[in-house]
Structure 1
Amino acid sequence: MSNRPPRAADRTRPAVLPAAGLLPAAAAPARLRVGVVGAGRVGAVLGAALAAAGHDVVAAAGLSTDSQRRAARLLPGVPLRPADEVVATSDLVVLAVPDDTLSGLVTGLAETGAWRRGQLLFHTSGAHGLAVLAPAERAGVLSLALHPVMTFSGGPEDLDRLVAAPFGVTSRPEHRAVAETLVLEMGGEPVWVAEGDRGLWHVALVTGANHLVTLVAEAADLLRTAGVDDPARVLTPLLTAALEGGLRRGDQALTGPVSRGDVGTVAAHLQTLTERAPSSVDAYVAMARRTTERALASGRLRRHEGTPLLDLLDSAEEAAR
């Protein structure tokens, strides 16, 4: 399968789905009727992407006022209905709901008899694989897990962000072509993730994206405390270079006092934080410890250089308790 995401003009109908025997022969040339349960920032955008690929979004479910506004903007003319009615009218159901509500939703719909044999279903959760969809599978639904690795604002610009965006794909082996075709039709790039690796996949992405935002915001707050009016102006070139270096070279891109074994500088940092920003001490200690451990493991630090750093961080942690 080509690595090039199809252009919208290329994605007029599903090329693999009918061949996989998922639709009756008479329906093979037709578009899939798509229902979106959870017309939030992710669901509304993926529904719009499927519509752009030539499918027919027939219904959506969204409870909040924001969801209703997004649906009106991104899925114009698509009626909002209860989740069970959305499922009843759809060949392909997209579940774009919070991780903690996904299991209850799938089970609840199964208990009402909403699922039917021959339907397609995918959820967008990074934390879950196929196990959470078992109640639907028992009803004969072909289930997939397609997690877009992208942040969503819920606006039309998100459609452009989907182009070449990775999607974590988990499916039964015999359904992999179907899963990858759907991702390509939405403009993304499929990345295979085994069922047993789904949790680690999500942890990795949360660590890289969500925690990165926290670190950037923390650094900006410290600069404001130091009297810098525009932290972004100071941080942008530094963090851009650090991110590029980390992605290219991993631990070998480490710089700064920890990577040099400068115990005195790290001790001074801890003292400054204790005096000026005490709420940041724990985060600094945790990150400095992990940085020291990675620098030791990668050979950036020798044992006699890293041990004093770890001893200092242990003392700081004890003092904080």
Structure 2
Amino acid sequence: MDPFAPPPFGAPADLGEPDPRDRPARLAVGVVGAGRVGTALGEALDRAGHRVVAASAVSEQSRRRAAERLPDAALTSPQEVVAAADLVLLTVPDDALAELAGGLVATGADVAGKLVAHTSGRYGTAVLNPLTRAGGLPLALHPVMTFTGRPDDTGRLSGVSFGVTAPDPLRPVAEALVLEMGGEPVWIAEDRRALYHAALAGGANHLVTLVVEAMDLLRAAGVGEPGRMLGPLLGASLDNALRLGLDGLTGPVARGDAGTVADHVAELARVSPEGLRAYVALARLTADRALAAGLLKPEDAERLLEVLAD
């Protein structure tokens, strides 16, 4: 018998059926770590016709969220969640995942023949090796979306990419689960997971920091509603970057305007020394990329880099 042969489950329910969960061969789902991500994915799987039967939660806020969004799930221990489920979602922080995988095995949780999926962007399936050796069927299903804990989190999964890593025999199962949640599976090799996650975190998380910094600087410059001013500009810049790549670059660095950049450096040194370091690092990277792409003349790049070096 193939150790990776998954338990069967049916196609998504047809429209018009009273309750898709009444279809045969649906999975019993357990959520270990009923936080923002776990409750959103659990709710999405429930809507697809699976049954979320058990969940574990540590904080009072997580317990309330689980009770609201996964009302049919018994709140219990991680070991009992595993015992009740065919598909176990391990939706805990990245740094806790390896310890959880080992701890479940050490406490005798029976994972043989069960699908065990985590939602970490950082890891592939190797982090689940203790569970795999115990007969678990490992999946890495990372939704490329931010979750706020609000009721609209589940709706945000529609059309969202999932970074997926799975053993070859389980790829159809991983793909089916992602599609059922409304997502789009994108396959990430095990040894590329850290790079994949660094790209996402650098783009999304640092974008928030840059926008907040820009809003603070505009307030210091006397702008009463910096969000209103920045919205159209940043929306157009993001659209240009996604559609055109570096060809969408504008501004003083792209023009080779070293004098303007020098003024920026001097003013930021006075108002926001922390912001200055980020500005200089990003301006250097922008100049290097613009030079390599032929958008910036070598002599202009040299003047820019001199200003940034000072």
Normalization by structure 1: what TM-score?
0.89
Which residue does the alignment assign to 1:223?
218
Please identify, of 238-247 and 80-89, the stretch whose mean Cα deviation from structure 2 is larger: 80-89
In the TM superposition, residue 308 of structure 1 has moved relative to its aligned partner by: 1.6
In the alignment, is residue 152 of structure 1 matched against residue 142 of structure 2? no
Which residue does the alignment assign to 2:7?
none
Distance 2:30 2:277 in 1: 46
In the TM superposition, residue 29 of structure 1 has moved relative to its aligned partner by: 2.8
In the TM superposition, residue 217 of structure 1 has moved relative to its aligned partner by: 0.6
Residue identity opposite 1:202 in structure 2: H
Residue identity opposite 1:47 in structure 2: G
Which residue does the alignment assign to 1:139?
134
Runs of 4+ in 1 over 2 A off after TM superposition: 6-14, 276-279
How far does the alpha carbon of each residue in 1:91-122 deviate from its partner, in whole angstroms, 9 at most, with x for none?
11000000000000000101112133110010
Distance 1:261 1:115 in 2: 63
Match of 2:172 among 177, 180, 183: 177
Distance 2:73 2:13 in 1: 24
Distance 1:69 1:99 in 2: 23
In the TM superposition, residue 208 of structure 1 has moved relative to its aligned partner by: 1.2
- Specify the SS of the correspondent of 2:141: strand
In the TM superposition, residue 276 of structure 1 has moved relative to its aligned partner by: 2.3
Which residue does the alignment assign to 1:49?
44
Normalization by structure 2: what TM-score?
0.92
Match of 2:103 among 108, 111, 118: 108
Conservation of the 8 A alpha-carbon contact between 2:13 and 2:49: no
In the alignment, is residue 278 of structure 1 matched against residue 276 of structure 2? no
The CA RMSD over aligned residues, in Å, is 1.9
Which residue does the alignment assign to 1:18?
none
Match of 2:254 among 256, 259, 276: 259
Which residue does the alignment assign to 1:168?
163
Which residue does the alignment assign to 1:125?
120
Distance 2:240 2:21 in 1: 41
- % same residue: 57
Distance 1:278 1:30 in 2: 60
Distance 1:143 1:261 in 2: 51
In the alignment, is residue 191 of structure 1 matched against residue 197 of structure 2? no
How far does the alpha carbon of each residue in 1:155-195 deviate from its partner, in whole angstroms, 9 at most, with x for none?
22112111111111100112110100010111111111111
In the alignment, is residue 240 of structure 1 matched against residue 235 of structure 2? yes
In the TM superposition, residue 314 of structure 1 has moved relative to its aligned partner by: 1.4
Match of 1:89 among 84, 93, 108: 84
Residue identity opposite 2:195 in structure 1: L
In the TM superposition, residue 8 of structure 1 has moved relative to its aligned partner by: 8.0
In the TM superposition, residue 299 of structure 1 has moved relative to its aligned partner by: 1.1
Which residue does the alignment assign to 1:306?
301
Distance 1:71 1:55 in 2: 16
Match of 1:35 among 30, 35, 39: 30
Residue identity opposite 1:172 in structure 2: P
Which residue does the alignment assign to 1:22?
none
Which residue does the alignment assign to 2:263?
268
